A and B are shown apart, each in its own frame.
Chain A
């Protein structure tokens, strides 16, 4: 150390035991640097790369990063595809049904557990258990349940519902479930009046019936998780609040309706944001349960990305879809992150 030029500065304060110390801020930055670098490379560099690919001519196995003319041609092409239009519709419909089901069911279960029923810890674990399964397992099981020949429909047969219907001269109850291509509540006409350009869309805007069983399966998987979040939220509400409400003459229903549920608002927001990004990115459950479905009744953007990338080797088209998915998720996540950041500071 004596002869080193670096040590000149250190020698200026001989005997100072803290000479090795950098400022606190420099230390923080230094320690965070590895993860910041890793994040920059593995997330933001690759997002930029994906965006570049989406603008490129890369559509065979051979890498071709030259830009496609005109610049956003791949995006224009994609939004003109019936399949992509159906995917957007399906994501929208799935998200609404899934979140409505999951929040309602999760909250109901949480309230039931909150009532301190006998054995409620057992029930809590039972309800939470599906969350431990992988989406693939859930998908395969629910595929069997909603198979029109072997699943739930057999139950209608066994329960004699179809016998009764036949006695009454009505056709048997035999829904096609995930194989049903019907789109109900079509709103193309209404949309065309509100949004310009919709009349050129080929896809039927409405509710694809096959999407509902998929939303039910996803609800089965995630409502336990929603319940757990609500149970956690309810635990932080002190008994005095409930007592006070009761003394004021609130019925049990009113206690929940007017006091508990409003106080759980932050939990509800977290739940909705978490479920939203699950539903926007969902792949494995839909892929194993229903696939793309007849007439793309159950296709979702993630399946589109997978098939265009790895089956069709259309890397530019797959990347464009991935970028749109990212934008959709960002629309949900960024405001949420911004608001929590504001609360923190």
Chain B
């Protein structure tokens, strides 16, 4: 009898506990985001409390670069505790899921890593997750040093929403200098599509694989297409694709698809088994001559101990000389986050010349402002800085800047099919449909 009574009592307690938990949870969840500022954590502006920085910079060079930003911040605001909320995972694929959940649940980080363009404006500005920083640009004089084309990618209805800390150049074309020399080939300052095709044919005849691709992550070959597209139709028409003035079944686009299909004929057989960095490694080992990749590939060459312009060289992706494919990272201020003042100071610091000069050499990118000290950067990055200052700046779709995330996925899917069937019309139709369904540029 007694044991039965205990059991019954336990049952009641369990029901009660569940009921309490059930009632409490919905009340507690929203208060997490709003109650925090009242909790005394954000006292006087920048005089203490915490700063939560959400990013996916976890690998060696990236983490060191992020630490350089933290150091610059702590030097000015020593009383603020920095919470480094990184989520590991290539290109932020895992981190974005976490961020989406947090934003949807009202638990907004103070600031987080973001790409300018559609990722910022479509995903975060439209739903109201970030606050404007226009006044910060005016107060700090950034409008004079940040190129207008880059600011446009961060602006909506006259308000600017992000501070960009570093810029990668997406349209790099890297080559194994020794391998080319062995075959009597020298690459000049620029390379046209026709010149590349001639070189590739010559290499293929000599039994050398002309192009290395590592598209086990499909974005790598999508980027090859994106660069080829830019190289074929030029920066003006390329920009037109994203505002709707140039359709995806335009003859120029189809010609770019033909060229892309031709380039695929030059690629290594095991491309779909390799990741992008394994493809770069294959190039270094002489397994192929060229690789189309953003300048994060430069870090791979440097880490392998190779020398600029001796063992490896670079040029703009065929036809893209005069254009700079922007792959940039920056930070916004979370709207309704716990420590908005600290976040504001964070943006002030990372927008500064000093912090960017500390950050970018470690990250392997260049400053998002045109007045950085060139002596702090190597040969390649000086070349890239010239391009950034003088060339047409265009956004990358593969890296989230040019179009919404669902179009980006649509492009990846269309490329996945095209790599096998090489059907230009189907490819063009798929992109037209993806743009329509995504609803941009209309």
Whether chain B is bound by chain A comes out as: yes
**Given A38-B18, A295-B420, A314-B409, also A148-B127 (CB < 8 A):** no
In the complex, the answer to whether B406 meets A312 with C-beta atoms within 8 Å is yes
Whether B245 is near chain A, meaning CB under 8 Å from some CB there, is no
Within 8 Å by CB of B11, from A30, A60, A77, A307, lies A30
Whether B269 is near chain A, meaning CB under 8 Å from some CB there, is yes
Within 8 Å by CB of B273, from A178, A296, A307, A310, lies A178
Stretch of B96-104, B194-202, B248-256 contacting A (4+ beta carbons < 8 Å): B96-104
In the complex, the answer to whether B216 meets A291 with C-beta atoms within 8 Å is yes
Whether A116 is near chain B, meaning CB under 8 Å from some CB there, is no
In the complex, the answer to whether B405 meets A149 with C-beta atoms within 8 Å is no
In the complex, the answer to whether B11 meets A179 with C-beta atoms within 8 Å is no
- Residues of chain A within 8 A of B123, CB atoms compared: 60-61, 313
Stretch of B75-83, B235-243, B411-419 contacting A (4+ beta carbons < 8 Å): B411-419
In the complex, the answer to whether B417 meets A295 with C-beta atoms within 8 Å is yes
Complex interface bits, A33-58 against B, C-beta within 8 A gives 1, otherwise 0: 11001100100000000000000000
Whether A147 is near chain B, meaning CB under 8 Å from some CB there, is yes
**Given A62-B127, A291-B217, also A82-B5 (CB < 8 A):** no
CB interface residues, A 288-345, toward B, < 8 Å: 291-297, 307-314
In the complex, the answer to whether B404 meets A60 with C-beta atoms within 8 Å is yes
- Residues of chain A within 8 A of B14, CB atoms compared: 34
Whether B261 is near chain A, meaning CB under 8 Å from some CB there, is no
Whether B437 is near chain A, meaning CB under 8 Å from some CB there, is yes
Within 8 Å by CB of B408, from A20, A22, A312, lies A312
A20 to B420, CA, bound (A): 74
Number of interface residues of A (CB under 8 A): 46
Complex interface bits, B14-39 against A, C-beta within 8 A gives 1, otherwise 0: 11001000100000000000000000
**Shortest Cβ distance from A203 into B: residue:** B417
In the complex, the answer to whether A61 meets B406 with C-beta atoms within 8 Å is no
In the complex, the answer to whether B270 meets A148 with C-beta atoms within 8 Å is yes
Top 7 A-B residue pairs of the complex, sorted by shortest distance between their CB atoms? A295-B420, A312-B409, A62-B127, A181-B420, A310-B97, A312-B406, A179-B272
**Inter-chain pairs besides A294-B416, A294-B420, 8 sampled, C-beta below 8 Å:** A30-B15, A38-B18, A60-B123, A176-B269, A296-B416, A297-B420, A310-B96, A311-B409
- Give B contacts to A, CB under 8 Å: 1, 4-5, 7-8, 11-12, 14-15, 18, 22, 93, 96-97, 100, 103-104, 122-124, 126-127, 129, 216-218, 269-273, 404-406, 408-410, 413, 416-417, 419-421, 426, 430, 437
Please, could you name 18 A-B residue pairs with CB atoms under 8 Å apart, sorted by A? A27-B11, A30-B15, A33-B15, A34-B11, A60-B122, A61-B100, A61-B103, A83-B416, A148-B270, A149-B269, A149-B270, A291-B216, A293-B272, A295-B420, A308-B409, A310-B93, A311-B408, A312-B409
